[in-house]
Copies of this chain bind each other. A is one copy, B any other.
Amino acid sequence: MSSVTTNDHANGTNGTNGISKPKESNVDVLIVGAGPAGLMAAAWMAHCGINARIVDKRNAKIFTGQADGITCRTIEIFDSLGFADRVWKEALHLQEISMWNPNAEGVIHRSDRIPDTVIGVSRFQQCVLNQGRIERWFIDNIKKYSNDTISVERGVLPESLVIDESKVEDDDAYPVTVTLRTLTEEEATPVQAATASKSVVSDGLFRSNLMQEDDEADLLRKTQTRPGTEEIVHAKYVIGCDGARSWTRRALGLELEGEATDYIWGVMDIIPITDFPDIRNRCAVHSAENGSLMVIPRENRMVRLYIQLKEVVPDASGRADRSKITPDLIFRAAQKIIAPYKLDYEYCDWWTAYQIGQRIGNSFDVHNRVFLAGDAVHTHSPKAGQGMNVSMQDTFNLGWKVALVTKGICKRDILATYQSERRRIAQDLIEFDHKFSRLFSGRPAKDMMDAEGIDMEEFKRAFMRGNMFASGMQVDYGPSNLVVKAGDWCEQGDRSEKSAKLLTEAKISDEKFSKKQALATEIPVGKRLASFKVLSQADARPWHIQERLKADGRFRIVLFAGNILSAQQKARVDKFCAKLDAPESFLQRITPADKAIDSVIDILTIHSSPRRDTELLRDFPDILHPFDHHLGWDYTKVYADDVSYHEGFGDAYKNYGVDKERGCVVVVRPDQYVAYVGDIDDFEDLENYFEGCLRLPAVGVAQDISIVTETVSSVTSKVAGEVKLAVRLVVE
């Protein structure tokens, strides 16, 4: 054991209070921190059936304040988990952004209106809803999909973390040992939660970066006198989602790099009483002299105000004096900025303040065994509504990889793509935030000659770029053993040597890649698969493609079968399916003998022939709608790109840029990102992709699943009416 890291505060408490030997157990995945990033990781474990635990040092959820913006990509992800409908119903849907700037007389006026979500990027739009609700749905979702085996263990504090380096390359080992201490309920209750139920306004300063330390130190002090229960956990993987002051990060000896600015902002959630015309729109208000304000409407008549505090300035140490900051001071600043409009309130739900700064972790993992995600590895200003979204998307990227490696489906080296893919996103985010903060916190230029002032046109352009960034749709992962594309890996990744060296072999030539990408011009490899409506062949129901890409840990082959009624095309599809169906195919080899043929890789077919001229059982090879002895044919896998009765025409082939005659083959990762595009005839390239990332048994070790493809005609006749099987069907 060479790498030993221990919580300083807790050192020495073990021996003195040790009455009995602590409980000791193995777990595949241990998640530290049950905020949105930790819960997203736990959701993957639940959906993939992984033996996992999730612990949080605090005893209660946060009910008010915190992050509130939800980008369209995040809602798509919630949809893949199964609770986007709850969010969509309850959230405030943001529609429009107004820009308010000083006119020639220095009085603010509405200078521009733009759509809040870039038009056409998603079937969802940016929303606002408090973090507490989102955590609630995560918890319900995790409970349901894990059959109650995973639930947040609260009041549990990690004390030491040890990595046994001799075991980190062993797939079956549990190389990470973590000591956990369970606090009593009283000890683990944070200050905010304790007061939230009273008629006192919740403030978020205890988590703000204006505090020198958070409540953890206090928790730790308590453990020295009343130690609670100690437990030792051996984990294959640990995911640290424990916030900006991450214990896990410190235990690993990793650092956040970056600096704070002089800009101090306050935040208030209030029900406004005002004659300001745009109080229900998102607004960026630049006053002439009094600073800037952002208005973000919320659910339940509330509005969040981000308010620049020009009166508060950092001292020589670079830190602001938090004792000066009160709701009164913050609100007076808002009133000055928004004048001549009147602004008042009776109800305040929550308030806080922060100092703008951008910091990023130098590494996102240690030995691909312990990972950091969310605020633990990147912090920035909250106004862009990106904190919670990027954090959840970190673990949405990481979770399935850890799950599939744990299950022995994927090779362990895919884990290196977590840092290459997500640290790059964090780099982009803090770069944007740095620039945007300067433009938003700066004084507007009075005229062309005012070189020190901010050009409002430049601000607007940055805002619009930020909006595109904020949608989450620009995320474009670089080449790796999970993404078959050309280009310089290092440039498309996080530029760290550690990641680069692992993945350089994955490249294909620019020329070859261009040819492949040309088969589906609007399905860019590395980006998430856009969604259009197609019709179920069996029953004509329109589905958004993304509704069929659930977060269940399966890779998906989307077979654009083209014009299946053409004999020539049908022959190509038949040949492709025959290869898939052959015992030596990657599909047959990766599927466990006791599992259905779609349990690891799911095949969805979208054809371009008129649905009414086509028959599922007549025109499509069996492997595209597999037969099950107990349940009959699978009617849910073949779709037509055709006009629906009630919901218009998705025009998927056109929108995806796929040839209607010849089609193509697309591989989509479990997180909906496009991994591969190729021709229907390029079976070898497709197989190579899966050879690169899956732990495929060698040819010859193929498992006998021929039973699955038996046709209905061979089903032995049964005495009708006799019930032979009670199938358990769970309704969501």
Contacts and interface: CB of A to CB of B under 8 A. Distances in A.
Given A271-B727, A645-B95, A725-B347, A331 B720 contact: yes
A332 interface: yes
B720 A344 contact: yes
Given A273-B715, A344-B717, A720-B331, A297 B645 contact: no
Contacts of A725: 346-347
A713 B342 contact: yes
Interface string A256-282: 000000000000000111110101110
Contacts of A539: 95-96, 280-281, 297
Interface string A280-313: 1100000000000000010111100000000000
A324 interface: no
Contact of A646 (B117, B277, B331, B644): B117
B631 A301 contact: yes
Q: Is the interface of A mostly helix, strand, loop or mixed?
A: loop
A721 B273 contact: no
Interface string A704-732: 00000000110101111111111101011
Contact of A631 (B271, B342, B726): B271
A86 B478 CA distance: 39
A632 B95 contact: no
Contacts of A721: 326-332, 348
B281 A645 contact: no
Contact of A95 (B302, B540, B719, B720): B540
B119 A723 contact: no
Tell which of A536, A612, A631 has the most Cβ of chain B within 10 Å: A631
A607 interface: no
A287 to B, nearest CB: 17
Interface in A605-644: 612, 615-618, 629-632, 635, 644
Contacts of A727: 271, 346-347
Contacts of A277: 615-618
Nearest to A712: B275
B731 A273 contact: no
Contacts of A119: 645-646
A23 interface: no
A32 to B, nearest CB: 29
Nearest to A96: B540
A335 interface: yes
A90 interface: yes
Contacts of A302: 729
A220 to B, nearest CB: 33
A346 B718 contact: yes
Interface string A111-128: 001011101000001000
Contacts of A299: 731
A345 B199 CA distance: 61
Contacts of A274: 632, 712
A630 B346 contact: yes
A542 B631 CA distance: 42
A125 B647 CA distance: 10
B646 A115 contact: yes
Contacts of A348: 721, 723
B541 A344 contact: no
A502 to B, nearest CB: 41
A510 interface: no
Nearest to A542: B95
A538 interface: yes
B95 A541 contact: yes
Contacts of A300: 729, 731
23 contacts: A85-B85, A85-B89, A95-B644, A95-B646, A96-B539, A116-B645, A117-B645, A125-B645, A125-B646, A199-B723, A201-B723, A274-B632, A274-B712, A275-B712, A280-B635, A281-B540, A300-B729, A301-B632, A326-B721, A328-B720, A329-B721, A342-B712, A347-B727
Q: Report the 3 A-B pairs with minimum CB-CB distance, sorted nearest first.
A: A328-B721, A327-B721, A331-B720
Given A302-B729, A344-B720, A347-B631, 20 more contacts: A85-B89, A90-B731, A93-B541, A95-B540, A116-B645, A271-B630, A271-B631, A271-B727, A273-B631, A273-B715, A275-B617, A277-B615, A301-B632, A301-B729, A327-B721, A328-B720, A332-B720, A346-B629, A346-B725, A348-B721
